[in-house]
Homo-oligomer: A and B are copies of this chain.
Amino acid sequence: MLQNDLTHSLSVIVGNDALLTGEPAAPYCADWRGRYSGNALAVVFPSDTQQVAKVVKLCAANNAAIVPQGGNTSLCGGSVPLSQSVGGGQIVLNLSRMNQVRAIDPTNYTMTVEAGCKLADVRDAAEKNNRFFPLGLTATQKYCEIGGNLSTNAGGINVLRYGNARDLVLGLEVVLPDGRIWNGLRSLRKDNSGYDLKHLFIGAEGTLGIITAAVLKLYPGPQAEATACVAVRDPAAAVALLSHLRATCGDKISAFEIVARSCLDLVFKHIPGTREPFTGKHEWIVITQLADVLSAPLDEALGEALRTFGTGIIEFDISSNKDHAERWWKLRKHISEAQKCEGISIKHDVSVPISRIADFIARADAALHNAFPGIRIVAFGHMGDGNIHYNISMLDAKQNQAYIAQQEAAVNKLVYAVVRELNGSISAEHGLGQLKRDAIRDYKDPLEMELMRTVKQALDPKGLMNPGKVL
């Protein structure tokens, strides 16, 4: 089939108003950070699962590759077409029109949603039913879509308590690479009746099939919260504090974030209305939160836990007042934005065992400062999950462009070497996409890469699902 004929046939499936080509298609062919852009024959917006299946069947018959796309907020170029040409061309299959909440069962604590539901809308729909959907991505949840969240196994601030996106799913509906529809929309807490196929598609970044709907777990909403801002001596004290808090407050810990002085300085400089949380200046602060369904006096429990911790804490402040706590959260939430004001940086999203976080920061800091005098390291993140965002730029912003062009590979090599020493992962929550597709081959066991290719080959023998991503 000629490419024009293919485009025409696609428009017959989805309707003329649900297919873009040329200039109008361009925004869907580039990522939101402006790092990746590619070429698609067309962008299609199917409105239901049957249309997705028909599009996939047609593409498969014509050897056209398919790039599944949700809110297109990938940080790794996972949701845009490749810039190089691909066999029978690339079709972007955008799921944003599939945005129905199909069902909510408050008694079963589940909801069934289509892939194109925005994360914020999923959370709102749960809340309207007096339930809570815990996946929270403060920066993007108004834009990102649940299908993308599941395809990338998204993380965020509440992983410590509720798990990754993967842990919040009971069932999936998936359009397979040959266009058949797998209805795995079960809403069961227990089901040991064969291989758990949903876990193959979750986190596969669209390379094994297209998630079109999911049954999500819901929770009772927290009634009580208490937040503490804690100045700690160093990352080792933060690691010990987290362990102490888990032992004393258990599942109530809903967040444990670490922020380095370099982050705070950037935030104070660029984000209006922010200021030092303490009268003294400290090198490391932790923001931690307890939450409970019972309206218990959590600030007392948190205060008791912090007071009994020992010498690693320099000072702390506790509040169960939301507005007060939000002042601290603002420091954490605006780090990326503040950093952007000083230009681009080399970003890492790594994880190590929680017990090795202090080692990671110490070793990576030493290696980088030694190799590259004059750099600034911006380290922060979800310490409760062992997940550190670790970004490197020059103190003098004007030098950044040249530094990154010349040294990005060398910086990555140093950081990833420390990650490897500590049995960590070079992609904790953002996925691989195009960004880390090459790097992962150096850091993952060749046998595991082979197993991944075996699975890919078995499910997508033509290699048409999101080619050039992950593997």
Residue A87, interface by CB 8 Å: no
A316-348 Cβ-contact flags toward B at 8 Å (1 or 0): 000000000000000000000000000000000
Please pick, from B164, B351, B354, B452, the residue contacting A195 in the complex, using a CB distance under 8 A: B452
Residue A180, interface by CB 8 Å: yes
Q: Considering only CB atoms, which chain B residue lies closest to A223 in the complex?
A: B250
B182 engages A250 (CB within 8 Å): no
A190 engages B351 (CB within 8 Å): yes
**Copies of the protein in its oligomer:** 2
Q: How far is the CA of A135 from the CA of B190 in the complex (A)?
A: 14
Given contacts A110-B353, A355-B108, contact A429 B182 (CB under 8 A): no
A284-304 Cβ-contact flags toward B at 8 Å (1 or 0): 000000001110100001000
Residue A200, interface by CB 8 Å: yes
Q: How far is the CA of A23 from the CA of B181 in the complex (A)?
A: 51
Given contacts A130-B247, A220-B246, contact A186 B423 (CB under 8 A): yes
Please pick, from B109, B183, B203, B352, the residue contacting A354 in the complex, using a CB distance under 8 A: B109
Among A10-18, A89-97, A265-273, A379-387, the stretch that binds chain B is A379-387
CB contacts under 8 Å to B, within A342-381, are 351-356
B294 engages A249 (CB within 8 Å): yes
Residue A167, interface by CB 8 Å: yes
Residue A282, interface by CB 8 Å: no
Residue A33, interface by CB 8 Å: no
A431-471 Cβ-contact flags toward B at 8 Å (1 or 0): 11000100010011101110110110111000000000011
Residue A79, interface by CB 8 Å: no
Residue A426, interface by CB 8 Å: yes
Among A63-71, A117-125, A152-160, the stretch that binds chain B is A152-160
Q: Which residues of B contact A152 (CB under 8 A)?
A: 192
Given contacts A190-B382, A458-B458, contact A196 B351 (CB under 8 A): no
Q: How far is the CA of A195 from the CA of B207 in the complex (A)?
A: 10
Q: Which residues of B contact A22 (CB under 8 A)?
A: none
Q: How far is the CB of A462 from chain B (nearest CB, A)?
A: 14
Q: Which residues of B contact A409 (CB under 8 A)?
A: none
Residue A9, interface by CB 8 Å: no
Q: How far is the CA of A426 from the CA of B188 in the complex (A)?
A: 11
Q: Which residues of B contact A294 (CB under 8 A)?
A: 248-250, 252, 296, 301
Given contacts A243-B107, A246-B220, A294-B301, contact A436 B203 (CB under 8 A): no
Residue A187, interface by CB 8 Å: yes
A93-117 Cβ-contact flags toward B at 8 Å (1 or 0): 0000000000001111110000000
Q: Considering only CB atoms, which chain B residue lies closest to A174 in the complex?
A: B451
B191 engages A251 (CB within 8 Å): no
Please pick, from B195, B425, B451, the residue contacting A188 in the complex, using a CB distance under 8 A: B425
Q: Which residues of B contact A293 (CB under 8 A)?
A: 247-252
Q: How far is the CA of A452 from the CA of B193 in the complex (A)?
A: 11
Q: How far is the CB of A13 from chain B (nearest CB, A)?
A: 21
Q: How far is the CA of A239 from the CA of B184 in the complex (A)?
A: 24
A107 engages B432 (CB within 8 Å): no
Residue A34, interface by CB 8 Å: no
Q: How far is the CA of A169 from the CA of B338 in the complex (A)?
A: 37
Residue A29, interface by CB 8 Å: no
B159 engages A197 (CB within 8 Å): no
Residue A26, interface by CB 8 Å: no
Please pick, from B164, B219, B432, the residue contacting A190 in the complex, using a CB distance under 8 A: B164
Q: Considering only CB atoms, which chain B residue lies closest to A109 in the complex?
A: B246
Q: How far is the CB of A289 from chain B (nearest CB, A)?
A: 15
A451 engages B197 (CB within 8 Å): yes
A240 engages B440 (CB within 8 Å): no
Q: Which residues of B contact A186 (CB under 8 A)?
A: 423, 425
Q: Which residues of B contact A354 (CB under 8 A)?
A: 107-109, 189
A448 engages B197 (CB within 8 Å): yes
Given contacts A108-B354, A459-B454, contact A386 B189 (CB under 8 A): yes
A190 engages B247 (CB within 8 Å): no
Given contacts A440-B194, A454-B459, contact A200 B199 (CB under 8 A): yes
Provide 29 A-B residue pairs closer than 8 Å at the C-beta atoms, listed in order of the A residue.
A105-B353, A105-B355, A107-B239, A130-B247, A159-B190, A163-B167, A181-B447, A184-B445, A184-B448, A186-B425, A188-B352, A188-B425, A189-B384, A192-B427, A192-B428, A192-B429, A192-B432, A193-B440, A193-B444, A194-B440, A194-B470, A195-B470, A199-B199, A220-B247, A247-B293, A248-B293, A249-B293, A251-B293, A294-B301
